[in-house]
Structure 1
Amino acid sequence: MRILILGGTTQASELARALAGRPDVAPLLSLAGRTQNPAPAPIPCRIGGFGGAEGLATFLRDEKFDVLIDATHPFAAQISANARVASAISGVPLLVFSRPAWAPGAGDQWREVATMAEAVAALGEAPRRVFLTQGRLQLAAFAAAPQHFYLVRAIDEPDELRLLPHHKFISARGPFTLEGERELMRGEGIEILVSKNSGGEATAAKLAAARALNIPVILVARPQAEGAAEVVRLEEALAWIEAHRPNP
């Protein structure tokens, strides 16, 4: 059974490990190539785009894939849209393997916004020390508020850093610990945290640290998946794959 996994997330790596070494499947992990040093994959891997939805559909047909798994980041809107269209064109069944969104708990000071521009505006006019953990994309939006100091954390150093007059960059890959996040925020004098509502456990510690330190959080709401089956647990993804195994 040939399985194409659109990856780059903890969920994709988890699924790849579960399928690795099985004689009854032939999985391929596809990465967009935006991260310079991706984590090693336990299954065959390709890097690079497909040329849009039609290119992905052609790849699915030509390589005779049986199913397509979209395990990309919840905010990877373009590739997810391409996956839905490619599935419709090629007839290859599509599953979205994501993770639950974060939800506020007692003591959280969250403000949810719809866009990164709204997150910038929510910082206010007075200069603040801001911890940006929304990833390397859309960093340029914060150039509209140059009065703030930005602590930026990402795997690779973004080119857009030069647009922020006052910043410090940290290169790091999750998972992160509560104690580590708390010490980082306290040591840098962070006054507010900005993040996308990506969900998952790998980077959730920053929210617990913000709660413990009484730091407010601005969260950009995730886009809604449309037109595809969606699961959030590995067992559900594996069951879906088995249910779509082609007849011998």
Structure 2
Amino acid sequence: MQKNLSARFKIFLMGGTKDSINIIKFLKNEYFSKNSSLKYPPYILTTTTTDYGAEIAKNAGSDKVISKPLSKEEIVNILTSPKNKFDIFIDATHPFATNATLTAIESSKTANIPYLCFERPDIDYSRFKNSIIFVNSFKEAGKLINNEFQSKNILHLAGVNTIESVLKFNQINLRNFFVRVLPVKSSIEKCNSLGISGENIIAMQGVFSKEFNKILMKEFKTNVIITKDSGETGGSFSKVNAAYELGIDIILVNRPKISDLNVNNSISNLNELQIFLDKF
């Protein structure tokens, strides 16, 4: 990797995930300490869609954060600004943030900046196949609940922004519908606006262990969970494993496929990031 020793290597990072936090910490510490060609730690500008995500990115070491959704035009303006001169665009958005990734790909092409996507490794669900019902969308999950699990206790473990799609089928009994969401005002207000009462809202932040998930599922007498294939980082395996051991049905929303994504521009761990940057 031929770097300009008189200038800082500059990275535009689309984040808001645990992956992006790990990338920031890696670049600022391990990568910099092992790379003698770098005079300074890489400069990182991180974008997130929330103040919460921005705060975590800043605490992790990001030099600058932008805490709002950005359009393609806004991103391109940042990338092409003479004062910025970014060397690479890293997309570490959520696996289900399809529109964000498409915007990232298009923006990097327009700005003529190398693009790299961090994709979470796939999980082998084969041992759970008799307990999992795979669906391709949250609307499909809602339809399934409405048709087959209407009188069951449902625990939604897929984030506040997916609840509305599940509830499109208004015959779902909200008294039996429980949700785990981030403990922030906007999440609680969103749940309330959808008719979900406080006693059905579990406000918690974090990726939880199998044992903790089992305790939660037992507490709410769960018959079926709704979750998404967001990888080990997103806690998918521990949720599925917990439900499986308790004999609870699992509705799992498949990770969306992005046809515009080039496999040569994708990595799934920090070692691959190191290799990519060293060859850059």
TM-score, normalised on structure 2?
0.80
**Cα gap change, 1:236 to 1:42, in 2 (>3 Å):** same
Q: Could you say which residue in structure 2 is the equivalent of 1:137? A: 161
* Aligned counterparts of 1:2 and 1:20: Cα–Cα separation in 2: 12
Aligned residues: 244
Q: Could you say which residue in structure 2 is the equivalent of 1:3? A: 11
**Cα gap change, 1:97 to 1:37, in 2 (>3 Å):** closer
RMSD, matched Cα = 2.1
**Cα gap change, 1:57 to 1:196, in 2 (>3 Å):** same
* Aligned counterparts of 2:143 and 2:119: Cα–Cα separation in 1: 29
* Aligned counterparts of 2:92 and 2:128: Cα–Cα separation in 1: 32
* Structure 1 unaligned residues grouped into runs of 5+: none
Give SS of 1:17's match.
helix
The question of whether the paired residues in 2 share the 8 Å contact of 1:174 and 1:202 is answered with no
The question of whether the paired residues in 2 share the 8 Å contact of 1:11 and 1:98 is answered with no
TM-score, normalised on structure 1?
0.90
Q: Could you say which residue in structure 2 is the equivalent of 1:169? A: 201
2:246 aligned to which of 196, 201, 213: 213
Give SS of 2:213's match.
helix
Greater per-residue helix proportion: 2
Give SS of 2:221's match.
coil
**1:200-221 superposed Cα distances (whole Å, 9 cap, x missing partner):** 2451311110111011111111
The aligned runs of 1:42-121 (5 Å cut-off) are: 42-49=61-68, 51-62=70-81, 63-108=84-129, 109-121=131-143
Give SS of 2:160's match.
coil
The question of whether the paired residues in 2 share the 8 Å contact of 1:50 and 1:56 is answered with no
* Aligned counterparts of 1:37 and 1:150: Cα–Cα separation in 2: 31
**Cα gap change, 1:2 to 1:107, in 2 (>3 Å):** closer
User: Which piece of structure 1 moves more, 127-136 or 199-208?
Assistant: 199-208
Q: Could you say which residue in structure 1 is the equivalent of 2:3? A: none
AA of the residue aligned to 1:236: E
Q: Could you say which residue in structure 1 is the equivalent of 2:261? A: 227
* Structure 2 unaligned residues grouped into runs of 5+: 1-8, 33-39
- Displacement, 1:130? 0.8
**Cα gap change, 1:30 to 1:107, in 2 (>3 Å):** closer
Give SS of 1:137's match.
helix
Of structures 1 and 2, the larger Rg is shown by 2
